[in-house]
Homo-oligomer: A and B are copies of this chain.
């Protein structure tokens, strides 16, 4: 399949690398390829420049968001929550009729929200929207001709693309969306990643719970001292 990963952060890289390994044609979208490739220093999180990373994955192509979306049969949103609706809305035509898997979380970094535990970002992020709306629903409203499937929100993307690396893969991944065919497509993709327990949480309103779970995820991460874990629905 031709798959576009929109965004060049660590989550997008995890999907791109795994999809390449699985034999897909992978294109990565960014705002401006020259700017992205021109970076030579790690970002504020210490993540290596995209160009350096890309050198290890011959076959992955970098292009603009619109070009990448136009190329793809299926797209994955890896654009940060604060910018996703605006950027995706700008390439609505190129995404029309396609499935968009969205794992983004609408974090807002408020430096006044100090977290009592040390965190990678120093403060406890807020969510906007929260409770009465979700980023997944906002993206779907901005892209009415695209089939949005919320997925992979409850894991780090590094473990979402390789569930077998945690507890032998015996944990649960969740999906939600309004389009059964798109959910079947995303389920097949997740199974190819190694997921055995893909739980359909129904309509896209369930994005709220998935996004709101991220505070629990952070708390568990701080308690365990690392993010290599998953959650399993035991029933």
Contacts and interface: CB of A to CB of B under 8 A. Distances in A.
Contacts of A216: 154, 174, 201, 206, 209-210, 212-213
A87 B170 CA distance: 43
A234 B223 contact: no
Given A115-B205, A213-B213, A228-B235, A219 B176 contact: yes
Given A115-B205, A200-B223, A216-B210, A232 B231 contact: yes
Contacts of A220: 174, 199, 201, 233
A37 interface: no
Contacts of A170: 234
A46 interface: no
A121 interface: no
Contact of A223 (B113, B171, B201, B228): B201
Nearest to A232: B232
Contacts of A131: 126-127, 130-131, 212, 215
Interface in A100-135: 113, 115-117, 124, 126-127, 130-132
Contacts of A235: 166-167, 224, 228-230
A117 B203 contact: yes
A233 B229 contact: yes
A193 to B, nearest CB: 16
Contacts of A223: 199-202
Nearest to A115: B205
Nearest to A218: B209
Interface of A: 113, 115-117, 124, 126-127, 130-132, 154, 166-167, 170-171, 174, 176, 199-203, 205-206, 208-210, 212-220, 222-224, 228-235
